[in-house]
Structure 1
Amino acid sequence: MDRGNRRKRIHTKNYTAYEGDKSFLEAPTEKTKKIWKEAEELIVEEIKKEL
């Protein structure tokens, strides 16, 4: 059996779909917000370079 089929079988066997809502998630921390702000600024710079 090749590795791809084995991985697929293991994943399918162990996968359980989550059907709840997002209420279990926490709000982003200030550190996360800061990192995302920096990342978004860098993404904008990269897009401008490509144009």
Structure 2
Amino acid sequence: MNKGELVDSVAAKANITKKQADEVISAFLEIVTEAVANGEKVIPILYEDAPN
């Protein structure tokens, strides 16, 4: 899945515009990129009951 496909899926699931979905995804990616650049550990949570 590329970013465009992700934007489409998020927009559809959240009932928001593709522009809004793109803004949210871009902000999320910026936050994660900055955290990694600062040496922080980033753990993707794929399931609600995933261990911390």
Shorter-chain TM-score tier: 0.3 to 0.5
TM-score (norm 2): 0.42
Work out which structure has the larger RCO, using CA pairs closer than 8 Å and 6 or more positions apart in sequence: 2
Larger Cα Rg: Structure 1 or Structure 2? 1
Q: Which has the higher helix share?
A: 1
